[in-house]
């Protein structure tokens, strides 16, 4: 099964990468199709309004590097702030209106050039582009059933009738994770404002519509994802070649991220995780300052985002170039768990199904090593502490229901891991049952202490089968040791 996946992956990479970079109009054509699908879902009685992400302050007068709201990017391809989108499916024409900030040469001297209306149209494929300053007056006219200079009464007649009949819906992209005590974001503040001034409509959340569509990648998105993973693959190999006893974690991190930038990727998909020795057992290890020693494992979880398509790759390899027998014990279990999960994915099971199959393999392996005493219960959660995979796409942990059966166009990771930490045992409540468990597994925990192994690959299910987009990064014990040996001889 895995051999077939690798061969199919190689063919996919050749086909997609040989076509070169996407045409200038490929993105705008794809965006038009995405918006059309959204408008078909929400129906003619609705309008949809989406906002750009606000800038985030780093310190005093310095902002973080700007990152667009994922849903707005999915619909417009615009990557600058102060952008709004209005979709009006019921209109006879001009169903899409984009608002962008006006160009200001004085401000551009400080912060760089902003998009003109023609450039915004070229990127998004939206013909009607207005200044952001006109957004509120435009929406007020719509809810008040008045035409504007851009949308006259005839064009918007269906929505105006829906407002008059009390059946109109204003669809917003709401954040389901926002707590009651948190400040209102732009959509919620807007919803509160229009409720106070207008009638004849209900507020609806269009997020489920976007989630359902985003989980199945378009052909354009698939091509960009393949390119993103090709860069990430090379970066991971560069990290492997930079690792050696006496080097620091940050040297490996720098080698990885240098490839991202040198190959034109906009950024990392997520802050790179580079953890050696005991740090490999920390899932999101934030630092990279430790000096690596011979005999230890190094875990690198790093990938880039290209064209807002984010992959995810983790490799674990020996700093000194060769796995110890104990490291091989753990590594083999994780590798077999991933292979079992890939078979379920190829058969179009769900992420939940993949997780169950991989977990079964890990349970059996932990039991064999004496790290648990019962494979039927939850003991394994001490050492395998996360779900085995997630969707990828515009967000590295992309949207989607993990109980949904996989279908062509879905992209996801399979990332089993085992992390042996004495602190996990120490934190258990001292009940008679736990005391007996600790006594039985303590020798094995001491034996395998500070071994952390995660193997993560990014997969794309296509009509022709399952493709491992990160298969070019050495993953088996033999392949890893071969690369590390080559590194040592240079």
Distances (CA, A) of 146 to 25, 76, 271, 328: 35, 26, 48, 71
CA angle 348, 351, 352 (to 5 degrees): 115
Does domain 23-213 correspond to CATH entry 3.40.350.10?
Answer: yes
Q: What is the pLDDT of residues 326-340, one digit of tens each?
A: 999 999 999 999 999
Tokens of 455: 């193997």
Q: What are the strands of the beta sheet with 168-172, ordered from one edge?
A: 128-131, 96-100, 84-87, 46-51, 168-172, 201-205
pLDDT at 16 over 70: no
DSSP category for residue 462: E
Cα separation of 396 and 390, whole Å? Answer: 8
Cα separation of 120 and 103, whole Å? Answer: 12
Q: pLDDT tier at 489 (50, 70, 90 boundaries)? A: low
Cα 95 to the center of its chain, rounded Å:
30
Cα separation of 311 and 290, whole Å? Answer: 26
Tokens of 169: 């819906």
The SS3 assignment for 5 reads helix
Q: What is the pLDDT of residue 19?
A: 42
Task: Please give the class, per CATH, of domain 217-489.
Answer: alpha beta
Q: What is the pLDDT of residues 383-437, one digit of tens each?
A: 999 999 999 999 999 999 999 999 999 999 999 999 999 999 999 999 999 999 9
Cα separation of 116 and 129, whole Å? Answer: 9
Identify which has the larger pLDDT, 276 or 8. 276
Tokens of 91: 């209109």
pTM of this structure: 0.93
User: Domain segments of the chain: what residues?
Assistant: 23-213, 217-489
CB 73 within 8 A of CB 145: no
Exposed / middle / buried, residue 25 (Cβ in 10 Å: 0-12, 13-18, 19+): exposed
């Amino acid at each position: 099964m895995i051999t077939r996946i690798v061969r199919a992956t190689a063919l996919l990479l050749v086909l997609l990468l040989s076509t070169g970079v996407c045409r200038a109009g490929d993105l705008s054509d794809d965006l038009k199709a995405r918006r059309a699908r959204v408008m078909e879902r929400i129906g003619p009685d609705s309008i949809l309004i989406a906002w750009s992400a606000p800038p985030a302050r780093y310190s005093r007068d310095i902002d973080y590097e700007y990152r667009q709201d994922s849903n707005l990017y999915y619909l417009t391809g615009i990557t600058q702030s102060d952008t709004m989108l209005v979709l009006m499916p019921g209109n006879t024409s001009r169903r899409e209106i984009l608002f962008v900030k006006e160009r200001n040469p004085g401000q551009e001297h400080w912060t760089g050039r902003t998009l003109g209306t023609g450039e915004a149209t070229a990127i998004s494929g939206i013909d009607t582009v207005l200044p952001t300053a006109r957004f509120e007056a435009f929406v007020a006219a719509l809810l008040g059933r008045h035409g504007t200079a851009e949308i006259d009464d005839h064009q918007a007649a269906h929505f105006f009738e829906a407002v008059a009949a009390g059946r109109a819906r204003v669809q917003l992209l709401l954040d389901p994770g926002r707590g009651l005590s948190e400040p209102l974001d732009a959509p919620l503040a807007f919803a509160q404002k229009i409720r106070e001034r207008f009638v004849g409509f209900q507020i609806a959340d269009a997020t489920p519509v976007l989630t359902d569509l985003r989980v199945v990648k378009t052909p354009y998105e698939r091509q960009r994802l393949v390119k993103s993973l090709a860069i990430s693959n090379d970066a991971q190999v560069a990290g492997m070649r930079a690792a050696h006893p006496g080097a620091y974690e940050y040297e490996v991190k720098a080698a990885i991220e240098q490839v991202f930038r040198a190959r034109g990727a906009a950024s990392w998909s997520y802050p790179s995780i580079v953890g050696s020795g005991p740090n490999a057992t920390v899932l999101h290890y934030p630092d990279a300052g430790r000096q690596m020693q011979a005999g230890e494992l190094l875990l690198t979880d790093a990938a880039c985002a290209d064209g807002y398509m984010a992959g995810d790759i983790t490799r674990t390899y020996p700093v000194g170039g060769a796995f110890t027998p104990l490291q091989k014990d753990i590594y083999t279990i994780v590798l077999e768990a991933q292979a079992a999960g890939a078979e379920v994915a190829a058969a179009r099971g769900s992420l939940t199904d993949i997780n169950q199959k991989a977990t079964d393999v890990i349970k059996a392996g932990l039991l064999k090593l004496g790290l648990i005493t019962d494979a039927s219960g939850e003991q394994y959660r001490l050492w395998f502490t996360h779900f085995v995979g997630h969707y990828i796409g515009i967000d590295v942990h992309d949207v989607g229901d993990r109980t949904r059966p996989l279908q062509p166009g879905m992209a996801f990771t399979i990332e089993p891991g085992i992390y042996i930490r004495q602190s996990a045992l120490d934190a258990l409540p001292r009940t008679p049952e736990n005391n007996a468990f600790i006594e039985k597994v303590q020798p094995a925990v001491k034996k395998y202490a500070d071994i952390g192994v995660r193997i993560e690959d990014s997969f794309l299910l296509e009509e022709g089968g399952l493709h491992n987009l990160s298969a070019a990064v050495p993953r088996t014990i033999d392949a890893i040791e071969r690369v590390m040996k080559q590194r040592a001889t240079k």
